[in-house]
Structures are given as structure tokens and as C-alpha cells.
Amino acid sequence: MTDILSPGALAGLRVIDLSRVLGGPYCTQILGDHGAEVIKIEPPQGDETRSWGPPFLGDAASYYIGVNRNKRGIALDLARPEARAVLFRLLDGADVLVENFKTGTLERWGMGYEAVLKEKFPRLVHCRISGFGADGPLGGYPGYDAAVQGMAGLMSLNGEAEGEPLRVGVPVVDLATGLNAALAIMMALQERQRSGKGQLVEATLYDCAVALLHPYAANWFLSQKPPKRTGNAHPNVSPYDQFHTRTKRIFLAVGNNRQFARFCAEIGKPELAEDPRFRDNKDRVVNRVALRQAIEGALAAIDGEALTMRLLDRGVPCGVVQELPDVLTHPHTRHRAMVYEQGDYRGVGAPIKLSRTPPALRRKPPRFGEANREVLREAGYSAAEIDRLIADGVVAASIRPAAQD
């Protein structure tokens, strides 16, 4: 982090963020990291992730804090027409609207893209994030990361060969959906440069999960053989797996014969590179069990961390299998500005680096309703009007208990 903050590549872009939980907020945090003005609009009950803890900092759980920096926060009860009128005023001049309501919600409120927003705000890019999209056999159903991991086949690929399907430990579908949504918004804004028109863009958890199935989908399209779980091993490459050493576990990602020969020499087994069973990758994949036994025997007496550095020096991809605290305090993580800190805030940094307009931490995640008055004042409301909106509950000043189903 530098002392002088760049305005960011997206400075001047105005984003209205109606999304909650993870995919949408992650998308808008990316935009905010790169300078977009993001106004996060929460319901009176707050973003659900505010309560997804412990741990907590103030009124917010770590889950919320992790994906909501670089935003200003207000709270509107959009179930009420008066609040929707406020939203329309905020959309006047906005570039992007991001939402992940249940399909049909905006239409029911008289705010559907095709019927209303497209006509009223012709330059608006409306990004809709949903579980499965609006139509098709699963259209309209709600989606959560773990359930979609199962439905889209990711769990079937994850786990030990003889074990049960496993959820990927991080919410990879939500995060991939947020990334794809941010990319879709950038595409639509680029096209707007030519046409002068906005459009509806969509990212669904299901589509994004299916898109993550490489290389297993490609293998199936070609062979028609359903994949089997292989634990840490790669289905197409060997040795590409986790191995025990005398000290730490390491992961080898040997992608060609030159790397394999260098690896064999470094572990004191140069003869393995000349063994007909292991000469080419296709041979090593077929004979992966025998190769693993030979490698494990050699590694049993070797320090894993020291070996990893020697292999990296020789151009052999590999890495020590580290615990999360080790990663977040690692000198390279710090060097790459992958930890942001400001006062009591600490978060994972932005991975996209631009030379002239780098990302930056400009605002800590907003407290609930923190910018109610500021944002409404900028939208042209008088102090008396703001007071009335708050008194009437159109604008929420504190979190209301969620209604019980």
C-alpha cells in the first residue's frame, strides 16, 4: 500500500449495489477496489452475512467484512414504493446496477429491466446474479454455493478416490460468479462506448460452476468416460500431486519431461527419468502408482521446504502445503500487497494489479446505514425530507429483526 492513493481505473463509475451475501458483494468490491463509487443498499434487516459469525467486529461478522470494503452503505425498505422512488433517484446518472434478488422480485416491484429500467435509464448496465437464471427447468430456484457445487458436479470430482464427494472448502462458485459478473459489467460498459446503450447482463451460480469443470468436461466430451475422484492427483498429468517429505508436505506440479528430469536429479533418482514406465507424461499417468511409490521412497529422507526452493530455482513448479496463517503472514503475500490494513480493518488485498492506476483500500466496510444522510443529501433530498424518510421507516437507521417465516 502506498501513501498516495490512485483514483483507480474505474474512477468516475457509479455503481448501485443491491446485492447481498457473497457473489454480488464480491463483484462490487472488485469494482470499488479499482475506484468505482459503490453505494451498497441493504434491506432493513441488513445483509445476512452481518450475522454469519463469530468472529465479529462491531455489528458485522468477518464474512461481511471480507467482501464489502470500498463502498458507502445505506438502508432502504424496497418493499415500499417510497423507497423505490429513492432508488430511482439514485439510479439517475448511475452506470451500473447489481442485484441478486430472487428472480421476478424487481418485476413484482415495477422495476423490471425490460419493462421499466431499460426505458427509464437507457445507459444503465443492469447486472443480475442468480442461482439458475429466470427460465429453463431450474429457472427461478434459489441457489447457494454448496448446493450448486453438488448439482453442477464439482463435488463429484473432489475427494479421495474411495471416499465420498466433498464440497470445495472455499465458496468457489460464489467467488467465480462474482468474478464473472465483474467481467460481464466491464464488457457491457465497453460495448456502451460504441452503442451508447446499456444492457442486462447475467451471471448465475449454476453456469459459473459448470464453466469450472475443466479439464473433466473436456475429457468427457472426448472419451465419454465419466471421471473418477483422484484425491489430489491430476487426471491428465503425473506427477501432479501432494507428497509427504521428512518435514512438510509438498505439492508437485511437473508438466513436462524437462521438469521431470530435473526433479528426479534433485531427489537423487536420475534413473527414474530414463525408466520406460516414466519416460513421457502419458507413461507416467498410466503408471502413476509405481511412480508415486518411487518418489515417496526418495522424499522420506528430504526436507520438504528446502527441496521446494531448490526445485523452484531449477524451474520445477512445486510448493509447500501451508496453513492459512502462514500464507497471510508470508513475506511474499505482504510484498504483493495481498493484505490490506487500515485501523481495525484487515482484509485480503486485490489480486488485479495495474501499473498506473493500482487498486487501493479507500473505505472500510460500511456500518449499517452509515451513509444514509450523506448519500440522500447528494441525491438532492433536504434535511427535513431525510428526517421524514427515516422516521417513516423508508430509510432504516438501525437493523430490524428479520420476520419469522
Residue 1 CA to residue 358 CA, distance in Å, equals: 10
Domain count, the chain: 2
Q: Which one of 33, 47, 95, 174 is the catalytic residue?
A: 174
Q: Does residue 405 have a pLDDT over 60?
A: no
Distance CA 203, CA 183 (A): 10
Mean pLDDT of the 388-395 span: 97
Check whether residue 24 and residue 139 sit in a common domain.
yes
**Within a domain: 72:** yes
pLDDT average, residue stretch 315-325:
96
Whether residues 33 and 182 share a domain: the answer is: yes
Angle, helix 172-195 to helix 23-33, in steps of 10 degrees: 50
- Please check whether residue 222 lies inside any domain of the structure: no
Residue 168 and residue 19 share a domain: yes
Are 21 and 140 members of one domain? yes
Report the 3 state secondary structure along 215-249: CHHHHHHHHCCCCCCCCCCCCCCCCEEEECCCCCC
**Within a domain: residue 404?**
no
Summarised one tens digit per residue, pLDDT across range 162-214 is: 999 999 999 999 999 999 999 999 999 999 999 999 999 999 999 999 999 99
CATH of the domain at 269: 3.30.1540.10
Task: Give the pairing of strands 125-130 and 96-99.
Answer: parallel
Say whether both 113 and 245 belong to one domain. Answer: no
316 and 365 belong to one structural domain: no
The answer on 49 and 131 residing in a single domain is yes
Instruction: Output the domain CATH number for residue 134.
Output: 3.40.50.10540
Q: In which domain, by residue range, is 279 found?
A: 240-328
Domain membership of residue 217 (yes or no) is no
Residue 136 lies in a domain: yes
Joined together, the cell numbers standing for residue 349 give 488485498
Please write the tens of the pLDDT for every residue from 218-230. Answer: 999 999 999 999 9
Both 31 and 163 in one domain: the answer is yes
Mean pLDDT across 17-36 = 98
Domain end (from 298, 328, 358): 328
> 181 and 56 in one domain?
yes
Burial of 193 (0-12, 13-18, 19+ CB in 10 A): exposed
User: Is the residue at 336 inside a domain?
Assistant: no
Return the bridge partners of 243, or none: 250
199 and 78 in a common domain: yes
Note whether residue 223 is domain-resident.
no
Tell me: do 298 and 369 sit in the same domain.
no
Q: Can you give the pTM of this predicted structure? A: 0.93
176 with 75, same domain: the answer is yes
Q: What confidence score (pLDDT) does residue 1 get?
A: 44
Residue 228, domain member (yes or no):
no
At residue 6, the pLDDT reads 85
What per-residue confidence (pLDDT) applies to 132?
A: 96
> How far apart are alpha carbons 391 and 383 in whole angstroms?
12
- 84-142 pLDDT, tens digit per residue, is 999 999 999 999 999 999 989 999 999 999 999 999 999 999 999 999 999 999 999 99
Instruction: Please confirm, yes or no, whether 174 is among the known catalytic residues.
Output: yes
